[in-house]
Amino acid sequence: MKKYKLAALLMIIHGGCMELGGAFCFIPALIFGPDKFDISQYFSFKLPYFQDNLYMMIIMGAIYGVFRLIGAIGLLKNRMWGLALSVINCVITLALMMFLLPAGIMDGLLAGGALILILMQYFGDKRIIA
C-alpha cells in the first residue's frame, strides 16, 4: 500500500506543479492579451507545431493535470478506478513525452516513476511461470 501512496504523491506533484503550474502562465495572457505577453519566451518545444500552438498546449496540459490529480486521489482512496486512471495517465505521458522536449524529460521521470511504483505494488513478488 505504501508504494501506491508514493505513486499518488508523485502524480500530485506532477499534476500540480508541472501541468497546472503551466496553466498559470495562461492568466497573464488573458489579462494583458497574447500580443503583449509572449509566452514563447518562457516555453520552447522542439516541434514547431507545438511551439506555434503554445496556448492550446497549456490548456491541454491543464486537462492532463486535472485527470492526473483525480487519478492520484482515487489511488489514495484505494479505488480501482484510480488505479486504472493512473496507469492510463502514466502510459500516455510516457508515449507523448518525446514530443514535448525539454519538458518531456521531467514528465517521463515523474510518470515513469509513478508507473513503476504502481506496477511493483500491484504485482508484488509474483513470478512469471513458464
CA separation for the pair 2, 91 (Å, rounded) = 21
CA separation for the pair 78, 55 (Å, rounded) = 35
Measuring CA to CA, which residue among 18, 32, 25 is closest to residue 56?
Answer: 25
Mean pLDDT of 83-94: 94
Per the model's pLDDT, the better-predicted residue between 60 and 55 turns out to be: 60
Residue 75 lies in a domain: yes
At 31, the amino acid letter reads: I
> For residue range 8-50, what is the model confidence (pLDDT) as tens digits?
999 999 888 776 676 677 677 677 766 666 666 666 666 777 7
Residue 15 lies in a domain: yes
99: left (phi over 0), alpha (psi -120 to 50) or beta: alpha
Q: What is the pLDDT of residue 57?
A: 77
Residue 31 lies in a domain: no
Domain that holds residue 74: 2-20+53-123
Look at the chain and report how many structural domains it folds into.
Answer: 1
CA separation for the pair 41, 31 (Å, rounded) = 17
Residue 45 lies in a domain: no
Task: Please state, for a pLDDT cut of 70, what percent of the chain lies above it.
Answer: 84
Task: Please state, for a pLDDT cut of 90, what percent of the chain lies above it.
Answer: 41
